[in-house]
A and B are shown apart, each in its own frame.
Chain A
C-alpha cells in the first residue's frame, strides 16, 4: 500500500501539483488526499492510475455523506470544485446540463430569472452538489409532488473503468435509446464510476407558496390527516414531524403536519379549505416570507445532532405503524413512506447496534429497509450503514460491480453487501 504523500505526488505528476491538496475539515474523514481535476480527461488519467495500482478513489461532493459511510478515508477523494459550471441551459426546452461540482443552490440560481428550478430539495442545497444529488440520491419534502433526481435526470456522463468516458440518455426530456445507465448511477454512492456531467429536466417555479400547520398528540392521527390531505388534493409536500423535531422547528412539541401548497389564488383558496376540512382541528396558515422561512427550516432539518439517525423506507401506508413501533424521533415524508428517524440517547457500540437492529426489524416486517444516515465516531464501526437486499438481487449487484469496476477501486467496501 502506497502512503498518502506518495499518492499525492503521483497524482500531481499526472495532472499538475495545483490539482492536489490535503483534505480540509470534514473531508479528513472522507479521503486521505484530495484531487481537484478540471476535466473528464484528468479524471480519466486518475482512474487509469488507480486501476493500475489498485488505489481506491471516489468523488466526495461536500464530503458529508462520504464522511459518514466510509469506515476509513478513501485513498483519493475527487473534489469536483473545478467542475462546477452550467454547461447549457435551455429555458424554452426546460432542460439544464451542468458539471457535477455545482451546488443545487447555484444550479437553481442560474435558472431563477427564467422562473424555473430543479425541484429537488435536499437538506442544505448550498452544500449539496449536483453529483451528490445523483450519487447519494438526496431528496427532500418536494419528492411527493416533483419526484427525485431519478425522475428528473435525463442524461449523464461518467468516467468508468479503464478511464472510459461513458454517456447515457441525452438532453431531451423523453428518451429510451439504449440501456438506462442513469438509473444505475443514481443512488450508487460512487461505486460504479465518477460522474462528470448531468442533464436534468426542470420545472416552473410555482406562483406562490403557503404552509399549513396542524398538530396532534399521537402519531396515528397525524398520519391519518396526512393521508386525508393526500387523497383530497395534490399538495406540494406533506411532512410529519415528531414532538422533539417539531420543537426544533419552532412548533408546539406534538406530532405536526406541515402541508405545503402552491398555485393561483383559486388553487390556494381550495388548498386552504381542504387543509381546514381534513385536519379536523385548528390549522395555522403561513404565507410569503414566513412560509418560506419555515419551509427552509424543515428542508434543512439537521439530523446530525442526533447520536444515531437513519432513513426508514416502507410502503406509504405502513409508515405510521413502523414509526410508532420504533418509538424514535422523526421527520417523515408523509405520503411517500420515507422518514429520517433518530435518537439523541448516548449510545455505546452495542446499544447503537441494538437500536439499529430494532429499527431494521420493524421496517423489514413491513417489507421495507433502513439505511444509516449518521452515527457518532465511536459507534460507526459497529454499524452496517446499508441494509441488505435479498440474495438474488445482491448476487446481481455484485456481478454489476464486478463488470463496471473490475479493479474494485470506486469507493470500495462501504455499499450494500460490502460492495
Chain B
C-alpha cells in the first residue's frame, strides 16, 4: 500500500521526535554514568579523577540508602493500596443511581488538579499542624492530644498526602471502566440470583482487571519519583525517616554538592525503575493483549 516515497516521508516526519527523545534519554544518562565513577565535588575542586566504585560503595553502603529504598517501597506500595481499594469503592459508589452525579464527579476529581507543593502545604498547615490544623481541632474536640504528624509519623503523613492526590485518578479510570460494563450482563447475573458480593467477585472485578493494571502501571511511574511533597513538608526528615531514593539523590547531589555520589545514586534509581518497569510491562502486556 505504502510506496517507497511515502515510507521515506513517514520516516522523515518521525525523525525529529525520535531524535530529540533519543538525545534526551542517552546524553544525560551517559553523563550520569560517567560522573558516578568520578571524584567530583562542587565544594572541593581539588578532588578529581577516577573514583572506581567508591561512589557506589559510599552511597549504597550508607544506612540512609537502605532506609530510602525501604521508604520508597512503602510509599509506592502504601499509596497503591489506598488508591486502588479506595478508588474501587468510590467508583462503585458513584456508579449507583445518585442525585448530583455530575457535581460529585467534579468534587472527587479536583484533588488531582492541585499541584503537588500546594497539596503538601495545604495538608501540612491547614490539616496536620498540631496547633491550628483541622485535625488538631478535631482531636481537641474529642479531648485528645493533637498529633504532630510530620514529626511523629513523617512517612505516613507523606503517604496520606500523595494518596489524596492520586485517589481521584484511580477513581476516574475505574469508574470509566465500570460504566462500560454492559447493563444486560449485570441484570442477567441479578436474575440468576447472584448476590451483590458474587456479582462483584465474578462479573465486576474481572471486567475492571485491565483498568486496575493500567492504574498500577501509571501511578507507579509517577510515585517512584515523588519529590515536591517531601521537599516542602519534611525535607526528608526527621533524619532520613521520609527520604525516598529520589530525594536522597537530590540531597546528595544538589544540596551537598557531591556530584559523584549523587550520580551514583541516580544510576541506582534508574536501575530500580527499570526493574519495576520490566515487571510492570510484562504484567500489563499480558493484560493488554487479552
A and B physically associate: no
Residues of chain A whose beta carbon lies under 8 Å from any beta carbon of chain B: none
